[in-house]
Structure 1
Amino acid sequence: MADSKVETISRLAQWRIENFGPCSYKKSEPFKLGIWNWYMSIERNRYLYIHIFPEPSKLSKEQPPVARFILRVSSTGSTRRFYISPVHERVLRTSEDFVWPVDTTFLGRFIIDVEFLDLKIYPTSGGVAGSIWPSDGKLQSVASQSALRCLSRMLDEEIHADLTIVTADGTLRAHKAVLSASSPVFEGLYHHQDVVDDEKETSTIHMEDMSQQSCKALLSYLYGTIKHEDFWKHRLALLGAANKFEIGDLKDACEESLLDDLTSGNVLSRLNEAWLYQLPKLKKGCFTFLFDFGKIYDVREEINNFFLLAERELMMEMFQEVLTVWK
C-alpha cells in the first residue's frame, strides 16, 4: 500500500499515513537506515502507540542497534501540529523494545518522523559500543596499501618535491606530477611551463585562500592518505578547492558528506553552499529536509536573516518547492 512506504534522507525517516481509523493497526514497509532494515508500526487503543524496531535478522540478533533518536507526530497541511518525544536511547531488537504512547486524536492523515541522532553497535568480540557514523568503509588490497605508503612518504618527507605551495599561514612542498594528474587546472598550469631553476627544479603556486592545515588535507586527499577526521574537519575548505581546481571526485565526496549530516542547525548554511558551488543533490536534500520533513518550522528564527542574504533565484526556487509540497 502507498501509505506503508517510509521515505528516508540522511538520518531521517518519514512515514506519511494517509488513512488511519480510531481502532486500527498499521505496519510500514521495511526501510534502510544505517546497516539495518527497519519497521515502524502504529496501533490505537486509548493512545496512539508507535513502535520502531529492526527487521528480524542474523545481524539485528548478533549486533542489535543501540539507537539514540527522537520521534515526532504531526498533522498534515500548512497548519501542522506537533507532538515531539524526548530523546530516547536504547538497544532495539524487537517491536517490544520501544513503544511511544501519544495522547492525540489524530485520525485520517498524519506524519511520523524519526530522527536518528546516533546508531551504535557492540563489537562481536565484546567491548564498548561504537557509532556506525562516520565510517571509512575502506577495503584496500595489499598493493594499494603499499602504493599509498609510498605516496605518503613522498608527501611527508618531500621526496623529490618540485613544487612549493604558499598558503595563508605557511608553505608546503608537493609534486607537480601528482597535482597535474589530479586536476586539469593544475595540469594546465604546468603543461608548457619550462623549469626555471635547473638546480632545484622547483616552482611556486599561491593558495592564500586556504590555511596550511586545510591545504595539507587537500594534498593528503590527492595523495590518497587523508584521514577521515581531517576530511570532516576541512570539508568546506576542500569543497572550495575542489570547485576551484575542478577535482570532481573530491567535490562529489564533499557533497555526499555534507548531505549525510544535515541538521536544523546547519541546513540553511548547507543550502547556501549548495547554491554557491552548484551542488544539485545537496540543494535538493536541503529542500526535502526543510519542506517534506517539516524542518522549516525548526529554523523560523534564522530564516529571516537567511532571506536577507540569499540570492533572488534561490529564494524563487524555495518558493516553488513550498508550492509543490503543499499541493
Structure 2
Amino acid sequence: MNDSAYRVETTSRLAQWRIDNLAACTYRKSDPFTVGKWNWHLSLEKNRTLFIKLYPEISNSTRDNPPIASFIIRVISFVGNRQALVHPEIKDKQIKNNDDFVWAIEVPLTGKFIIDLEFLDLKTASPEGGEPCSIWAEGYTQKQSNATALASLSRMLSEGIHTDIVINASNGSIGAHRAILAARSPVFRSMFSHDLKEKELSTINIADMSIESCQAFLNYIYGNIQNEDFLTHRLALLQAADKYDISDLKEACHESLLEDIDTKNVLERLQNASLYQLPNLKTSCMRYLVKFGKIFDIRDEFNTFLQCADRELIAEIFHEVLGTWKGF
C-alpha cells in the first residue's frame, strides 16, 4: 500500500482522510497530522462494525494538559450518490488517549470514502484554574493586540509623542509619560499623586544613572528593551528596579545575574546580592567562592573586598567557609 493511504490532508481546522479500499477485517492508523497545538491520529478498525477513533499523539504536553475538543466528524461515501454519515456534534470533550473518542458505525461501507473531521474549537485548561481557554481565541488576536500595543508604546518613547515629564540623568535628559511611569512603579505614582517637586516641575532627577542606562530603564518600562542593552546595563537596572519598586525588572536582573558568575564578577555580584536582598544570587556566589574553591583564585581581590564589605556579609562568608571545610 502506498504512503498516501495513511496521509491526512489538513487546512487550519479541517482534516480529511481518504480511504480507497478497506478490507473486511483490517486495522489502519493514519500518519500524524497537526491541528492546533497537537499532532493527531485517526484510526480504523473493521470487523462486523467499523470503529473510527480520534486521539492526540502521546507527549508530555498531552498528558499534562490534554486537548478539550469540539468537532464534527462525518463519513462521506462515494458509492452510488454521495452520502454522508454524521456523528452528533462533540462539544468540549477531553481527548487524552485512543479510547476517549470511538465512533461505531454499523452501516456497511464499501469502496471509497472520506473521513471528514472539522474542529470547531480546541481548548486547554487554564493555568490559573477556572474555565478552559480556547487556543484560537487566545492566539493570534491576543498576540497581535499585544504586539501593536508594545509597538505604539515604543513609538511614544522614541518619538517623544506627547511627553509630559522630563527625566534628567547624569549626562542627559529624556522625555517620558507620567501615566506609564505611574502604572509601572508605585514610587513614580506616589511622586505624581502628591505635591512633590517632581509633580510641580514636571521633572525627575536620576543623577545616579547615565543617560544610556536611563534609556535602557525606560525601554524596559515601555516594553521595548533589547537583550544586548539589558545585559550591558543589568546592574544599573537592578539599582533602578529596587529604587522605584519595579519587582518584575528586579527579578529579571536577579535571574540574569545568576547565569554568568565568574572570577571577574563574583565579588561585585555578592555585594549587590547582599545590598538588594537577592538570596539565590548570594547563595550561588558563596558556593562559587567556597565550595568550588574559587576564593583561592582571586585571593588579592578577596582581601581588598574584605576591607570594605559589610560586616554581616563577611560573617556569612566565613560561616560558609567553616561549614564547608568542616566536612574535609
State the TM-score, normalizing by the size of structure 1.
Answer: 0.54
Distance 1:266 1:319 in 2: 19
> What is the aligned partner in structure 1 of residue 318 from structure 2?
319
| Cα deviation 1:193-237 (Å, max 9, x = unaligned) | 59999xxx9711111111111101000000000000000111111
Indicate if the aligned counterparts of 2:170 and 2:207 stay in contact, CA closer than 8 A: yes
Q: SS at 2:258's partner residue?
A: helix
Larger radius of gyration between Structure 1 and Structure 2:
2
Sort the Cα spacing of 1:196 and 1:236 in 2 relative to 1 into closer, same or farther, 3 A. Answer: closer
Indicate if the aligned counterparts of 1:166 and 1:172 stay in contact, CA closer than 8 A: yes
How far did 1:322 drift? 1.1
> What is the aligned partner in structure 2 of residue 310 from structure 1?
309
Q: Which amino acid aligns with 2:204?
A: I
Indicate if the aligned counterparts of 1:168 and 1:210 stay in contact, CA closer than 8 A: yes
> What is the aligned partner in structure 1 of residue 258 from structure 2?
259
> What is the aligned partner in structure 1 of residue 211 from structure 2?
212
How far did 1:141 drift? 2.2
Indicate if the aligned counterparts of 1:217 and 1:234 stay in contact, CA closer than 8 A: yes
| Cα deviation 1:244-268 (Å, max 9, x = unaligned) | 1111111111111111110011111
Q: Which amino acid aligns with 2:217?
A: L
| Cα deviation 1:148-191 (Å, max 9, x = unaligned) | 10001110111111111111111100000111011110000012
Q: SS at 1:230's partner residue?
A: helix
How far did 1:284 drift? 0.7
State the TM-score, normalizing by the size of structure 2.
Answer: 0.54
Q: Quick one: percent identity of the two aligned structures?
A: 52
Q: Which amino acid aligns with 2:312?
A: E
- Output the aligned Cα RMSD: 2.3
Indicate if the aligned counterparts of 1:165 and 1:206 stay in contact, CA closer than 8 A: yes
Pick aligned residue for 1:189 from 171, 186, 191: 191
> What is the aligned partner in structure 1 of residue 291 from structure 2?
292
Q: SS at 2:208's partner residue?
A: coil
Pick aligned residue for 1:174 from 165, 173, 176: 176
Distance 1:231 1:171 in 2: 20
Q: Which runs of 5+ in 1 are unaligned?
A: 1-138
| Cα deviation 1:69-128 (Å, max 9, x = unaligned) | xxxxxxxxxxxxxxxxxxxxxxxxxxxxxxxxxxxxxxxxxxxxxxxxxxxxxxxxxxxx
5 Å matches for 1:22-61?
none
Larger RCO: 1 or 2 (CA < 8 Å, sep 6+): 1
Q: Which runs of 5+ in 2 are unaligned?
A: 1-139
> What is the aligned partner in structure 2 of residue 149 from structure 1?
151
> What is the aligned partner in structure 2 of residue 158 from structure 1?
160
Q: Which amino acid aligns with 2:274?
A: W
Sort the Cα spacing of 1:303 and 1:204 in 2 relative to 1 into closer, same or farther, 3 A. Answer: same
Q: SS at 1:224's partner residue?
A: coil
Distance 2:294 2:254 in 1: 20
Q: SS at 2:245's partner residue?
A: coil
Report the number of matched residues.
186
Distance 2:317 2:226 in 1: 36
Distance 1:172 1:287 in 2: 39
> What is the aligned partner in structure 1 of residue 71 from structure 2?
none
